[in-house]
Structure 1
């Protein structure tokens, strides 16, 4: 699946994660900011990577700002960001 433009999903509220995704050219790059990165950073990155792989995204630059999101929230936000990034932007 090819990303057409950048997209964002999620908020900076507690127990949420904001996923910003842009088209990439050299695989998947994930930049994670999280107060719990020392404990759960690898798990958060793995969940994002898993969702991207399931959706067929091979090249992307992802910025994730986590505030204690559960796996189901990480999955939902990543999925939504990808879905938004593959749609054609509306002409206004």
Structure 2
């Protein structure tokens, strides 16, 4: 999937995260993470985010995550929503995810 515009998903409520995705002018995937638990779980959050993007076929994007203690399922769901909003596609093959 090609990221064509900036999009958001999620919130800054407890146990959630705010995701912003935008096209990357450099190519490749870049993740900016802000989290109060980054020292303990930063690597796991980044891995979950990269996995979600790869499963959706995103190869070039800048992802900004503001984490408030979200679990893996929430991270994946918010990234999926942001990707769909940023591509303009209305349907997705959920069996790939």
1:85 aligns with 2:86: yes
Gaps of 5+ in 2: 90-97
Provide runs of 4+ in structure 1 moved above 3 Å: none
- Alignment match, 2:29: 28
> How many aligned positions are there?
88
Give the equivalent residue in structure 2 for 1:7.
Answer: 7
- RMSD, aligned α-carbons: 0.9
- The reply on whether 1:17 has 2:27 as its aligned counterpart is no
1:78, distance to aligned residue in structure 2 (A): 0.4
Counterpart-to-counterpart distance in 1, 2:43 and 2:5: 26
Distance in 2, matches of 1:31 and 1:50, equals: 15
Give the distance between the partners of 2:61 and 2:20, measured in 1 at CA: 10
State the TM-score, normalizing by the size of structure 2.
0.88
Structure 1: 5+ residue stretches without partners? none
1:18 CA drift (Å): 0.5
Q: TM-score, normalised on structure 1?
A: 0.93
Aligned position for 2:53:
52
